[in-house]
Structure 1
């Protein structure tokens, strides 16, 4: 955003001073009357209206009136009640209530009277959000500062809120764009009165309602199996070791290295009565930390453990792997096989302090010790997890179903055993792009428990919290952005994002974080849902490559310039996606080249190769359009990642075979014209053209970029980062003032980089600190006018930065 000028004229300055003076007394009144967050009138109204369906406007007005009367500290006029109904119907009430303030930009379309009514009502309904509402109204130019101050006057709002919001516009313009979900959330815990969540790709998040903020400094790996509190310290189990959060919010190792992995490790840890915590490791080790913080690591003759549980004896811990339950001596690591169940163990837990521990398997429940069967009617469904409520209410839940589709039910202790109650509804956050087509949960991950007095749990797509009043779970992932992006593209004043598991998503440049899922669009698109790898455009429309989860073939997805889905066309006829010659054993079409024709390169020995597609513009809501795709060229393995582009009337690809080579193809026929040997040891993962010069990006004893000189067919090294795995992107600003390049780390360690080189300067400077984490960048796009640059991180989000600020930026402090 442009730097906000708080008061551009002297008259505005005096207006502000006058209003401050007028309200110096009422400001204190407003402060006293301000309700706690949980008591905001707007939240009460929103919860009540969402709990009903098919309400008439008169019924909604009656509900709101009853809430206002019972509130005591708030009052709404008839006009404000009617406006509240409109705000609810438009979805703006839900957006503001959930902290999605970007939706306020839609008020630009309203006339002045209606706009003022809506804003005054929002200020009244959400006083705690007043500053956020004000700052977004200013950012999206819905109001000038003096206009907003006048509304503050009529809304009995402390005008300093408006002044603070306006002044905030002077900070460096860095905006995080993204959505929470589609990468797995592995745990939710409470620590020092705050809520923390962990992810398998983005590390750790701290919740400050409604937002999530990354807590990643010091993490040695962003793949977190789970969080736990031990001896008043917050610990994080990465896939390789245990870390502790310091008072400076920096993570550091505690000296305990163990292999764990989310959803393979089912019950990560258990704490004994004397304060020792031991961990389940996917190796023949038992690692523990005692109440003093001392760590031990014992050898086991058990190959690995998926879960552990302390019962009554502090010297012994139960461990399980598959269907086998062991009793392990934590002093010497010896063990006995206690029991083999018919089905795999899911979790061991106590439903109350005075009850016996229970062993939950996929198909039944047993008493720990006697191993007697507990009476429970699963109705032929499988147990996938148990949600334990340790609060006095003791309201437990059980998840039934499968890995990718599960339901939540109440679970209660009864005299005859356990009773499964009715299915509990989940209210999904419809602002998240994947919730436009996916409205179901997967298997809950980890050890769901009580957080701040109520059950929170996480799965492969989101974070959810239980509300006792409505007996529903509400999705809370919001902006804990953990999607794995693959490509971004700017066209038609729109940012297009392709991502693993998310398909093709669009966002208007002038409405950040307002997402539309172009495809998939609805639940019936499930068959073709999966990974989208590349996006590009022509005057005819938007195109992306798509690799569904459930099909072996790749597809070309197309939409028009208004973001309306057109069709999908099959690229190849593969019968299996598994291919040992490919990267990570899966065959994909990761790069798209558009010109007079459409070209993709699919890796793999069986059906890989260079494909040419004739685009069909026929709109099809249901059927896959049979394309006239033609394989133009193929090698034995076709080991091409994303290193495929158009250059000087050639189609150029880089093949990572025994002899690494650039392949130059005729752009019309695909015929191989020539090959050029690459520097020995170079693995290229991307090719990009800057000012008619071909750049080869990849890995050779670190991340490296080469420039190709076509006159003498030579390679010149431009930049190298030994600590990173590979460069994936390099782009130059439209005015040539700066060049940015992004490198990543394949192992999820914080070694990714974003670097900058200014025009007429030789040195590259590190600007990674401007990103949400240190995973690095996989794509970079400048707006056509050069005002902003959008950086797609390897994991987490897209980061928007104002280019003019980067032109004078001196780099991150060492």
Structure 2
């Protein structure tokens, strides 16, 4: 019972007003909004102004766009298979056609970026990476459905008639960072060491010139009906007015050092009859911008006046330096509006580069989250890769808790990846892996984040590289003992279990190591029985009831478990992933109590993993899980069960590639999630209330179609023997026009004549009042009962006839299909 509940009981006993009690309850169930939009963690490889919109891409979050009058970026990832984007280009002749390069290939839009579709027939294993392949597509404006592109192996292709044709390969087979095609058909390609000129001679592409200089960006621009080619070259900017035969320096080297590299370039003709140019340079991680409005005759340092955003907690400490610039660009119609992006920042100038403002639009959240917690008063605290710990108060701006920033950047012993965070009143404890550290560490604050202490006593002095989940073993799994607030358990991938009994300040490894030390987040405690469960990404789940003196393998042998939670009543839920030995992808297994066996309660039938799970602290039967595949595919999902895993609903929310961690609000009507790619968000789950059982007597069939085919057998409720088109149906009454969920378990009992190995499963059709509504392929295991669920769209209330019809039958002298059903239920 929490403090507020005690206050309410006291007020009632004192016969005070009910209104007073309700007022107290409001304090722990705040309805105020949190300002969750901020950037950092992922990078912004490019910003582009085009066709009355501004486009922004991310290497973890996909694509945003915003109109000139809009204050917020809008995510536009529909159809985009991969969210790690390195380049975006649009046609000028047909402005709705554009292309985006990603880690898995090239996607195309024909509606201005609102929807995307992967291109087919690309070279095998072609992929693109931020920074390396920044500007590597040149659209054929006479036929915008065709384009030339360079890849990371030095190959140059022409994509036409929905096929990629190899034109030529650079001699050194380097990554092609930039590529342009002149109006005369000359191809210029830039790499980290050279600039190559290719021309088509006698129907063959040939290398006609190689310039040995670092050429990371190229562009073309026209003035007075003449096209000019521009290139960055070491610490210079070059121009060619004769189609790349000769190149002339624009005197940039006088403004940057010999050791700096000019790497980003934008050019636009202006109203003065000259070229305006933006050039970005870098040296190590320091970067800057030079602007010219007279074709490169004079240059100005464009970052003298910088307005750092005070809404971005990762920027509040910075006063002078700009980190490595990722892209520069002009507004497509206003020569006085300029843009640039850094790894973590978005900037705009509206006065031709005299002054710059960061975060000129909001909503492009680019955070790679890892952990999330909620305080007693409803504040949200998050842990993220790269950007540390952030507090999001109600009705206030987010603030950076750690690392503590200074004018000299920040403490290298703190800056880096933060994995997990626990909040206990004013105490905050988190796990981290600093960029400069040689091992994991714990950080602790006793004053809500004002001061911090680094802790390493008793922890390993090195990262394990002995078959960890990532390249080295991180300390992601951290929980507080549910019976002793001063006791903490820490799971370090590759090292094992560590225990602190004095609030996290000293640690000691458990007496014996768990049989598998490969752990992600799957660590939790059964409060009732004082059992610690250890889920491994190799061999199921182990448990200990004596702090690791002895271990018991509880089951799920050879299954990969990435998260695990224990409800208040002792039920254990484990989220699994694909493994070489396991046919299940993302699935949920349940162990009702210490004595019971694990059972599969939900197989989502997708490749990937259930790797974030949470049980509602106010309702032990309410659980939410996240599905992800970790490879930037835009396929993440959230699912909720209100009946301890029997029935599941998909939560309608865009979660990118998936969720790293999630927590219920203090009143359990909101879900706060830390995305692997799309920052921190708040999801209203009040519409996903407990599922209403339709109270259908499933054994009282309304109708048996071919009664010989359907029969009772052993513990089954129905069995279909051999025949296709057999069906069973029930009468149900639907209220409030909600969709119906039909849930059941099935098995094939063929006797000695088993199904072929490649059999996809039984196919059933669901028919409502004579109208086909859905089909489902049901797993056809010969050995295990398989759980299935199908959601049926219902558009009116009232009495319905729900029919399950079996469509297929491969019975033969060699094969039987005797399909058994049990645990049939209907709900809405």
Fold equivalence (TM over 0.5): yes
Query: Structure 2: how far apart are the matches of 1:198 and 1:745?
Result: 21
CA distance change for structure 1 residues 561 and 727 in 2, over 3 Å: closer, same or farther? farther
Which deviates more from structure 2 when the two are superposed, residues 445-454 or residues 427-436? 445-454
Question: Which residue of 2 is the match for residue 498 of structure 1?
Answer: 383
User: Per-residue deviation at 1:598?
Assistant: 2.6
- Trace 1:144-183 onto structure 2 (pairs within 5 A): 177-183=36-42
- The separation in 1 between residues aligned to 2:369 and 2:472, in whole angstroms, is 18
Decide which structure has greater strand share.
2
Mapped partners of 2:206, 2:463: distance in 1: 42
Larger Cα Rg: Structure 1 or Structure 2? 2
CA distance in 2, matches of 1:813, 1:426: 56
Number of aligned residue pairs: give it.
620
> How big is the shift at 1:539?
4.5
Cα gap change, 1:297/1:574 in structure 2, threshold over 3 Å: closer, same or farther?
farther
Mapping for residues 236-251 of structure 1, pairs under 5 Å? 236-247=100-111, 249-251=114-116
- After superposition, what is the alpha-carbon deviation per residue over 1:209-241, rounded to whole angstroms, capped at 9, x for unaligned? 321111111111111112111232232222223
Q: Distance in 2 between matches of 1:698 and 1:267?
A: 39
Match of 1:444 among 302, 319, 325: 325
2:66 corresponds to 1:207: yes
What is the Cα deviation at residue 355 of structure 1? 7.3
**Secondary structure of 2:687's aligned partner:** helix
Q: Is the 8 A contact 2:634 2:657 kept in 1?
A: yes
Q: 1:566 and 1:358, CA in 2 relative to 1: closer, same or farther beyond 3 A?
A: same
Over 3 Å counting, the alpha-carbon distance change for 1:382 and 1:225 in structure 2 is same
Choose from 474, 481, 489 the match for 1:599.
489
Tell me if structure 1 keeps the 8 A contact 2:133–2:177.
yes
> Which aligned pairs between 1:145-294 and structure 2 lie closer than 5 A?
177-208=36-67, 209-230=70-91, 231-232=94-95, 233-247=97-111, 249-255=114-120, 257=122, 258-271=126-139, 274=142, 277-283=147-153, 285-289=155-159
Distance 1:457 1:481, change over 3 A: same
Q: Which residue of 1 aligns with 2:782?
A: none
Report the more deviating stretch, 482-491 or 368-377: 368-377
Residue in structure 1 matched with residue 697 of structure 2 by the alignment: none
Structure-2 change in CA distance of 1:616 and 1:758 (3 Å): closer
Match of 1:390 among 268, 273, 281: 268
Give deviations 1:590-635, integer Å, cap 9, x for gaps. 121223323322223xxx3323346579xxxxxxxxx533333547
Q: How does 1:27-176 map to 2 (within 5 A)?
A: none
Match of 2:629 in 1: 745
CA distance in 2, matches of 1:643, 1:748: 22
The alignment status of 1:693 with 2:579, answered yes or no, reads no
Summarize the Cα distance change of 1:450–1:281 in structure 2 as closer, same or farther, 3 Å threshold: farther
Separation in 2 of the partners of 1:720 and 1:413?
64
Q: CA deviation at 1:390?
A: 1.4
In the other structure, the counterpart of 1:336 is 207
Number of the residue aligned with 2:552: 675
1:778 is paired with a residue whose SS is strand
Structure 1 residues without counterparts, runs of 5 or longer: 1-138, 142-173, 618-626
CA apart distance, 1:721: 1.8
Question: Runs of 5+ in structure 2 lacking a partner?
Answer: 1-29, 579-583, 692-737, 740-790, 794-828
| Shift in alpha-carbon separation, 1:418–1:319, aligned structure 2, 3 A | farther
Q: Distance in 1 between matches of 2:179 and 2:372?
A: 45
Q: Alignment partner of 2:86: what SS?
A: strand
1:756–1:421 distance in 2 versus 1, CA, 3 Å: closer
Change (3 A) 1:452 1:484: farther
C-alpha displacement at 1:480, in angstroms? 0.8
What is residue 129 of structure 1 aligned with on the other side?
none
**2:465 is matched with which residue: 579, 596, 612?**
579
Given that 2:200 and 2:206 are in contact with CA atoms closer than 8 Å, whether structure 1 keeps it comes out as: no
- Cα deviation, residue 262, structure 1: 1.2
Structure 2 counterpart of 1:732, from 598, 615, 625: 615
CA RMSD of aligned residues (A): 3.5
> Structure 2 CA distance, aligned partners of 1:297 and 1:309?
16
State the 1:265 CA deviation: 0.8
Instruction: Tell me which of 625, 645, 664 is aligned to 1:782.
Output: 664
Task: Note closer, same or farther for the CA distance 1:338–1:578 as it changes in structure 2 (3 Å cut).
Answer: farther
Corresponding residue for residue 566 of structure 1: 452
Alpha-carbon deviations, 1:369-412, whole Å to 9, x = none? 34566642222441253341415164423323335331223346
Report matched runs for 1:408-807 at 5 Å. 408-411=289-292, 419=299, 421=301, 423-438=303-318, 440-446=321-327, 448-453=329-334, 454-468=337-351, 471-476=354-359, 478-493=362-377, 494-508=379-393, 510-511=394-395, 514-523=397-406, 525-527=410-412, 528-539=414-425, 541-560=427-446, 562-570=448-456, 577=463, 579=465, 581-595=467-481, 596-604=486-494, 608-613=495-500, 628-632=506-510, 634=513, 638-647=517-526, 648-657=529-538, 660-665=539-544, 670-676=547-553, 678-690=555-567, 691-700=569-578, 701-709=584-592, 711-712=594-595, 714-733=597-616, 734-736=618-620, 738-759=622-643, 762-767=646-651, 769=652, 771-807=653-689
- Provide closer, same or farther for how the CA distance between residues 600 and 355 of structure 1 changes in structure 2, counting only shifts above 3 A: same
